[in-house]
Structure 1
């Protein structure tokens, strides 16, 4: 007998100006290969969205026309600080999360979940440069690339989105499906350097990056969270 048709799964990604494209495209690539999956990218309008990589992406829906998510994913990026003050964006997250089976974030997208009231009392993670700010949205910071607390799944910075996607696929459809997708996209990390997190990176490299980027970026995020 032929296999039963897979259960339809609607996956919705929030899109906003200044998004980190890999926060979106990495988990989208893995999740799109899950049997039954349909992806939507929702923004305030269907105009092109400028990413942090110098190119734009096109939403498939605006907030009003977006279907209800089974899985809601909120990516991060330097544009999060502005998005925190956009009532339509926060309302969209809250409305979609109310009907979703899983609500998820990559990187600083966690703060948008927090602003929508979804992380109060929850264990969560985000990019290492911003973890100390999670209590401002009522979350308990936890070290880890992927942190699950009930139907809330948060992940660390940028490339952690692939780990989150495979974790979620395994939860929904089993390890074999997740492993097949990991193989299909040849996700077999073998970076040229030991590092990628302050715990495993030379202190001078971490200090230099914080001084150039993340001290100011975290201060800007903190100001936006307190507004």
Structure 2
């Protein structure tokens, strides 16, 4: 399984790190030894809303070769919803079997057309913004609608990470990862 994390300027790092940490443990703890990932962006490095810089692995790769894309949120999503170059790049994930988002990352999945006909959630302040992009806005922490899985506000990132661990490697693996993180849940 190969994952592309979609990063951008103005990202909320907890949206990214909260899901990244439990998923990385799939490989580190030998639950899914072939689990791999790339940090992908439109530029060689990105900065979060506070100026912390992250160097990415790949600049604007074709996303079609991945098994899953994960799109975090943050204030950067506001301008990217109408950024044609970014949306064209994100659209290369059309055939990717699983698409996940955290917080306002759902707005980017929506702007790319991936939420048409799907139920989805996002940050509670963005429910109205999300509505035109999807079939139904659901006010829940995690919404699994088959090919698209969305999570609410920033703290739901860790929950989505553990949820995906369970989906990918089973209940026992997810529980072992949760315990290794000493995470009590919500």
- TM-score, length-normalised on structure 1? 0.75
Describe the SS at the equivalent of 1:54. coil
Describe the SS at the equivalent of 1:170. helix
Where do 4+ consecutive residues of structure 1 move more than 6 Å?
Answer: none
Could you tell me whether the CA contact under 8 Å between 1:72 and 1:97 is conserved in 2?
no
Distance (Å, rounded) in 2 between the aligned partners of 1:83 and 1:168: 26
Structure 2, unaligned runs of 5 or more:
27-31
Distance (Å, rounded) in 1 between the aligned partners of 2:18 and 2:50: 14
Among 132, 136, 143, the residue aligned to 2:139: 143
CA displacement, residues 172-203 of structure 1 (integer Å, 9 cap, x when unaligned): 2110011111111121258xxxxxxxxxxxxx
1:110 equivalent to 2:127? Answer no
Aligned partner of 1:30 in structure 2 is 22
Among 7, 16, 20, the residue aligned to 1:15: 7
Describe the SS at the equivalent of 1:26. helix
Describe the SS at the equivalent of 2:149. strand
Query: Alpha carbons of 1:181 and 1:147: their partners in 2 closer, same or farther (altered >3 Å)?
Result: same
Q: How many residues align?
A: 180
Among 115, 118, 132, the residue aligned to 1:122: 118
CA displacement, residues 27-58 of structure 1 (integer Å, 9 cap, x when unaligned): 01111111222121111121x21102331111
Among 127, 148, 152, the residue aligned to 1:152: 148
Map 1:171-186 → 2, pairs under 5 A: 171-186=167-182
Aligned partner of 1:61 in structure 2 is 58
- Whose Rg is larger? 1
TM-align CA RMSD: 1.6
Query: Alpha carbons of 1:184 and 1:90: their partners in 2 closer, same or farther (altered >3 Å)?
Result: same
Aligned partner of 1:74 in structure 2 is 71
Structure 1, unaligned runs of 5 or more:
1-8, 191-227
1:43 equivalent to 2:35? Answer no
Distance (Å, rounded) in 1 between the aligned partners of 2:183 and 2:65: 30
Describe the SS at the equivalent of 1:76. coil
1:68 is displaced (CA, Å) by 2.2
